[in-house]
Amino acid sequence: METVSGVSNWKLVIRREERSVCILRGVTCDERAILPEELFGLPVTELGGHALSPTAPAGAEGEEVLVSCGLTDEGAQWDNRRLTDLTLPAVLQKVGDYALLNCSGLKTLRLHDGVTFWGGGALMNCRSLDTFFLTRVGEQQESLSFFADELSRELDVTIYETDGQTVHLIFPEFVEAYEENCPAHHFDYNIYGAGYPYHHCFRQKKLSLREYDTLWKGFLGMEHDEESGVRLAWWRLRCPAELTERAARRYWDHLEHHADTLLRWLVSRRDAAGIAFFLGQVTPEEGALAQACEAAREERASECLAVLLEQRRRKGSAGAEKRFDL
């Protein structure tokens, strides 16, 4: 087994092509791992079928390579079961069938939008996967459409556009269920939750932000999770790429009516800058500010508490308790 240096630890089985490398099998002992961009001077452009699956069939034939960053424990577990955060090669073009099958601990996937083929079941049983960081490399490809179609849970997606803009989107959860209809002796197909339109708002597998924003009114009229709605509105306003004034006003109105939920969430993230941004646009009721201050004290979020107390001071809250202790 040949050893090469890298930024993460991997045991790989590869196939060298004339101008590229395909990873046939790969296991890591790291929780956060980055696959190599190239091996032996050749770009890594493909993940084979079952490539990173903890339950991949044995016996993949190819060249064995150890990628080492020099930081491994003697008793390290090399099976991808501890893997929570994975970065794919920037030049990756193809992901084979069941490539990430049963990576049940994987929560975050980072990749460039150059993948033109996703195999069947590539994300099957990735039960924790809900966070994506996608870097555009040119014309929009189909990766985001694939993720939204494959995963019905709430997805948190950050897109780095080629023009330098950042887009941050929430795709709310929905549930599909087949339920037995005993009198009719058949099963009914039902959809619960307001997330279905968001997961399927792609045209020819491309996302339109304008169309995404038109779904908001329907979302509010359906059964939905309040915190999910707050996060969706917040990120569209915080990263307002292609956001119209009309759509922005609707999002601001929603956040103003749910200021208590938003402020508590921002405190939990220790996002003092976000709190300042919100308070620069909206003046919440005293009750929402008081709850947020208490949450900041409980979280020991001193920067958030300072911003909130300054807002209460500006409002001149009569008799407000101004405690800076955490």
80-138 pLDDT, tens digit each: 999 999 999 999 999 999 999 999 999 999 999 999 999 999 999 999 999 999 999 98
> Does residue 29 lie within any of the structural domains?
no
- Cα–Cα distance, 214 to 221 (Å, whole number): 13
Rg (CA), the chain: 23
In a domain, 267, yes or no: yes
Segment 243-249 long-range contacts (CB within 8 Å, at least 24 positions apart): 243/209, 243/213, 244/210, 244/213, 247/213, 247/214, 247/216
Identify the pLDDT of residue 293.
97
How far lies 121's CA from each of 54, 105, 132, 162, in Å? 14, 16, 18, 29
- 22 vs 188, higher pLDDT: 22
Instruction: Give the pLDDT confidence score for residue 1 in this predicted structure.
Output: 85
pLDDT, mean over the chain: 93
Tell whether 94 is covered by a domain: no
The domain tally of the chain equals: 1
pLDDT in tens, 148-197: 999 999 999 999 999 999 999 999 999 988 777 777 667 877 888 899 99
Q: Is 70 exceeded by the pLDDT of residue 317?
A: no
> What is the value of pTM for the model shown?
0.92
| Domain around 326 | 258-318+322-326
Give the position of tokens 């941050």: 168
Residue 288 lies in a domain: yes
Q: What is the mean pLDDT of residues 261-283?
A: 97
Residue 278 belongs to some domain of the structure = yes
- Kindly state whether residue 299 falls inside one of the protein's structural domains: yes
Q: Which two tokens stand for residue 312?
A: 């209460």
Distance CA 279, CA 112 (A): 35
Please compute, for residue 192, the number of CA atoms within 13 A of its CA located in the half-sphere on the CB side.
7
Residue 120 resides in a domain? no
Average pLDDT of the segment spanning 234-258:
98
> pLDDT band at 25, cuts 50/70/90?
very high
The verdict on residue 217 lying in a domain is: no
Residue 216 has pLDDT above 90, yes or no: yes
Q: What is the tens place of the pLDDT at every residue in 68-86?
A: 998 777 778 999 999 999 9
Please state, in angstroms and as integers, the Cα–Cα distance from residue 12 to each residue in 159, 190, 199, 294, following that order.
29, 43, 34, 50
- pLDDT attached to residue 105: 97
